[in-house]
Chains A and B, each alone.
Chain A
Amino acid sequence: MAHTVTEYDTIAAISTPIGEGAISIVRLSGEQSLTIANRIFKGKDLAQVASHTIQYGHIVDPETDEVIDEVMVSVMLAPKTFTREDVIEINCHGGLLATNRILQLLLANGARAAEPGEYTKRAFLNGRIDLTQAESVMDLIRAKTDKAMHVALNQLDGNLAHLIQNLRQEILQVLAQVEVNIDYPEYDEDELTTKMLLEKADIVDQAISELLKTAQQGKVLREGLATAIIGRPNVGKSSLLNYLLHEDKAIVTDVAGTTRDVIEEYVNINGVPLKLIDTAGIHHTEDKVEKIGVDRSRQALEAAELVLLVLNQSEALTPEDQELLTLTKAKKRIILLNKTDLPTALTKTMLQPYLHEGEQPLEISILTQLGTKALERRINALFFAGIETNQNTVMVTNARQIGLLRQAQQALNDVRQGIAAGMPVDLVQIDMTSCWDKLGEITGDSAPDELITQLFSQFCLGK
Chain B
Amino acid sequence: MKTYDSKTYDVIIVGAGHAGSEAALAAARMGQKTLLLTINLDMVAFMPCNPSVGGPAKGTVVREIDALGGQMGKNIDATYIQMRMLNTGKGPAVRALRAQADKGQYHRVMKDTLENEANLTLRQGIADALIVEDGVCKGVITNTGARYLADAVVLTAGTASRGKIIIGELMYSSGPNNSIPSIKLSENLETLGFKLRRFKTGTPPRVDGNTIDYSKTEEQPGDTTPNAFSYETPDAAYLTDQLSCWMTYTNATTHQIIRDNLDRAPMFSGVIEGVGPRYCPSIEDKIVRFADKPRHQLFLEPEGRDTEEYYVGDFSTSMPEEVQQKMLHSVAGLEHAEMMRPGYAIEYDVVEPWQLKATLETKVIENLYTAGQMNGTSGYEEAAGQGIVAGINAALKVQGKAPFILKRSDAYIGVMIDDLVTKGTNEPYRLLTSRAEYRLMLRHDNADLRLTQQGYEFGLISEDRYQNFLTKKAAIDAELARLENVRVKPTPEVQAFLAEKQVAPLKDGVLGVDFLKRPEVTYADLVRFVGAAPTALDHRVIEQVEIQVKYAGYIRKEEAKIAKLKRLEAKKIPDRIDYSAINGLATEARQKLEKIQPETLAQASRISGVNPADIGILSVYIQQGKIAKVG
The reply to whether B433 and A183 form a contact with Cβ atoms under 8 Å apart is: yes
Q: How far is the CA of A121 from the CA of B601 in the complex (A)?
A: 15
> Are B584 and A452 neighbours in the complex by a CB distance under 8 Å?
no
A308→B568 CA distance, assembly (Å): 56
Q: How far is the CB of B86 from chain A (nearest CB, A)?
A: 4
User: Within B23-78, which residues are at the interface with A (CB < 8 Å)?
Assistant: 49-50, 56-57
B435→A3 contact, CB < 8 A: no
Taking the closest CB of chain A, its distance from the CB of B50, in whole angstroms, is: 6
Known A455-B434, A460-B290, A463-B314; judge A3-B616 contact (CB<8 A): no
A430 to B93 alpha-carbon distance, docked (Å): 11
Q: Is B528 an interface residue (CB 8 A)?
A: no
Q: Which residues of B contact A185 (CB under 8 A)?
A: 56, 86-87, 96
Binding-face segment, B158-166, B230-238, B358-366, B607-615 = B607-615
B472 CB–A CB distance under 8 Å? no
Interchain CA distance A461-B285 in the complex, whole Å: 11
Closest to B313 in A: A463
B433-A424 in contact (CB<8A): no
CB under 8 Å from chain A, chain B span 569-619: 571, 582-584, 601-602, 605-606, 608, 611-613, 615-617, 619
Contacts of A6 in B (CB 8 A): 612, 615-616
> Could you say which of A124-132, A198-206, A292-300 contacts chain B?
A124-132
B440 partner residues in chain A, CB cutoff 8 A: 427, 430
For residue A3, give the distance in angstroms from its CB to the closest CB of chain B.
6
- Contact B91–A424 (Cβ < 8 Å): yes
Which of B167-175, B291-299, B318-326, B392-400 is the interface stretch? B291-299
Cβ of B289 within 8 Å of any chain A Cβ, yes or no, is yes
Closest beta carbon of chain B to A67's beta carbon, Å? 30
> How distant is A136 from chain B, measured CB to nearest CB, in Å?
10
Contacts of B224 in A (CB 8 A): none
> Which among B316, B602, B611 is the interface contact of A5 at CB below 8 angstroms?
B602
Confirm or deny: B336 has a beta carbon within 8 angstroms of a beta carbon on chain A.
Answer: no
How far does the Cβ of A129 sit from chain B's closest Cβ, in whole Å? Answer: 10
**What is the minimal beta-carbon distance from A96 to any residue of chain B, in angstroms?**
27
Q: Is A426 a contact partner of B620 (Cβ separation < 8 A)? A: no
Whether B314 lies near A452 (C-beta < 8 A) is: no
A383 to B620, CA, bound (A): 41
Known: A452-B435, A456-B278. A182 touches B627 (CB 8 A): no
Q: Which of A5, A118, A121: most chain B CB closer than 10 A?
A: A5
* A7 on interface, CB distance cutoff 8 Å: yes
Residues 425 to 463 of chain A near chain B (Cβ within 8 Å): 425-427, 430, 447-449, 451-452, 455-456, 460-463
Q: Which of B611, B613, B617, B624 has the most CB of A within 10 A?
A: B613
| A residues 94-150 in Cβ contact with B at 8 Å | 115, 118, 121, 124-125, 127, 131, 134-135, 137-139, 141-142, 145
Q: Is B286 an interface residue (CB 8 A)?
A: yes
B49 engages A131 (CB within 8 Å): no
Is A388 in the interface zone, CB < 8 Å from B? Answer: no
Q: How far is the CB of B562 from chain A (nearest CB, A)?
A: 10
Q: Are A462 and B605 in contact (CB-based, < 8 A)? A: no
Q: Is there an interface contact between B584 and A7, defined as CB atoms closer than 8 Å?
A: no
Asked if B263 is at the interface (CB within 8 A of a chain A CB), the reply is no
Q: CA of A452 to CA of B437 in the docked complex: distance in angstroms? A: 13
Question: Interface size for chain B: under 10, 10 to 19, 20 to 34, or 35 or more residues?
Answer: 35 or more
- Residues on B with C-beta less than 8 A from A50 are none
Question: Which residue in chain B gives the minimum CB-CB distance to A458?
Answer: B290
Min CB distance, B527 to chain A, in Å?
Answer: 20
The chain B residue sitting closest to A457, CB to CB, is B278
Distance in Å: Cβ of A20 to nearest Cβ of chain B: 28
Q: Which of B56, B94, B297, B608 contacts A447 (CB 8 A)?
A: B608
Is B459's beta carbon under 8 Å from chain A? no
Beta-carbon contact of A138 and B583 below 8 Å: yes
The docked-state distance in angstroms from the alpha carbon of A124 to that of B434 is 37
Min CB gap B581→A, angstroms:
12
Say yes or no: A121-B620 contact (C-beta < 8 A), given A138-B584, A183-B432: yes
Q: Is the CB of B619 within 8 A of A182?
A: no
A223 interface contact, C-beta 8 A: no
Within 8 A of A (CB), among B64-111: 86-87, 89-91, 93-94, 96
Task: Tell me the minimal C-beta distance from B630 to chain A in angstroms.
Answer: 10
Chain B CB count within 10 A is highest, among A182, A184, A460, for A182
B620 CB to closest chain A CB (Å) equals 5
Q: Is B531 an interface residue (CB 8 A)?
A: no
Q: Say if the beta carbon of B554 comes within 8 Å of chain A.
A: yes
Tell me if B534 counts as interface (CB < 8 A to partner A).
no
Q: Are A115 and B433 in contact (CB under 8 A)?
A: no
CA–CA, A37 and B293, complex, Å:
55
* Chain A residues with CB under 8 A of B620: 121, 124-125, 134, 137-138, 141
Q: In the complex, which residue of chain B has the Cβ closest to the Cβ of A146?
A: B613
CB neighbours of B281 from chain A (8 A): 460-462
Q: Which residues of chain B are near A422, meaning CB under 8 Å?
A: 519-520
The 0/1 profile, CB within 8 Å of A marked 1, for residues 536-567 of chain B is: 00000000000000010010011001001101
Given contacts A430-B440, A455-B434, contact A5 B605 (CB under 8 A): yes
Known interface pairs A142-B613, A447-B608. Does A7 touch B619 (Cβ–Cβ under 8 Å)?
yes
**B456 on the A face (CB < 8 A):** no
CA distance A1 to B89 in the complex (A): 25
User: Does A258 make an interface contact (CB < 8 A)?
Assistant: no
Q: A8-B564, A142-B584, A185-B86 are in contact. Are A131 and B613 (CB under 8 A)?
A: no
Residues of chain B contacted by A118 (CB below 8 angstroms): 616
Complex interface bits, A174-196 against B, C-beta within 8 A gives 1, otherwise 0: 00000101111111100000000
A409, chain B: closest CB distance, angstroms: 17
CB distance from B94 to the nearest CB of A (A): 5
**With A6-B612, A188-B297, A462-B314 as contacts: A423 and B432 at CB distance below 8 Å:** no
Query: Which of these, A137, A141, A187, A448, contacts B297 with CB under 8 Å?
Result: A187
Q: What residues of chain A lie closer than 8 Å to B504, measured between beta carbons?
A: none
Asked if B617 and A138 sit within 8 Å, CB to CB, the answer is yes
On chain A, the residues within 8 Å of B93 by CB distance are 426-427
Q: Would you give the shortest CB distance from A195 to chain B, in whole angstroms? A: 14
Most buried by B among A137, A418, A448, A460: A460
Per-residue CB contact flags for chain B residues 232-275 toward chain A (1 = under 8 Å, else 0) read 00000000000000000000000000000000000000000000
Q: B517 to chain A: closest CB distance in Å?
A: 8
Which of these, A135, A141, A182, contacts B90 with CB under 8 Å?
A182
For the complex, is B423 an interface residue (Cβ under 8 Å from A)? yes
* Contact for B279 among A124, A427, A461, CB less than 8 A: A461
Give the distance in Å from the alpha carbon of A339 to the alpha carbon of B571 in the complex: 68
> Which residues of the partner chain A approach B623 to less than 8 Å between Cβ atoms?
124-125, 127, 134
User: Is A385 positioned at the interface, with any CB of B under 8 Å from its CB?
Assistant: no
A456 engages B279 (CB within 8 Å):
yes
B628 close to chain A: CB less than 8 A? yes
Question: Shortest beta-carbon distance, A193 to chain B, in Å?
Answer: 11
For residue B289, give the distance in angstroms from its CB to the closest CB of chain A: 7
- Across-interface contacts of A125 in B (CB, < 8 A): 619-620, 623
In the complex with contacts A139-B584, A427-B91, A462-B281, A131-B86 CB distance below 8 A: no
Cβ-defined contact, B289 with A8, below 8 A:
no
Cβ-defined partner of B91 (8 Å) among A134, A137, A426: A426
Q: Shortest distance in angstroms between B227's beta carbon and chain A's nearest beta carbon?
A: 15
Q: Are A115 and B613 in contact, CB atoms less than 8 angstroms apart?
A: yes
Interface contacts beyond A141-B613, A427-B91, A430-B558: sample of 8 additional A-B pairs, CB < 8 Å, sorted by A: A134-B621, A135-B583, A182-B56, A185-B87, A423-B519, A462-B286, A462-B316, A463-B314
21 A–B pairs (Cβ distance < 8 Å), ordered by A: A3-B602, A5-B564, A6-B615, A7-B601, A115-B612, A121-B616, A125-B619, A137-B620, A138-B617, A142-B584, A182-B87, A182-B434, A183-B433, A184-B56, A186-B297, A423-B91, A426-B93, A448-B608, A455-B432, A456-B278, A463-B314
3 closest A-B pairs by CB: A422-B519, A424-B91, A456-B278
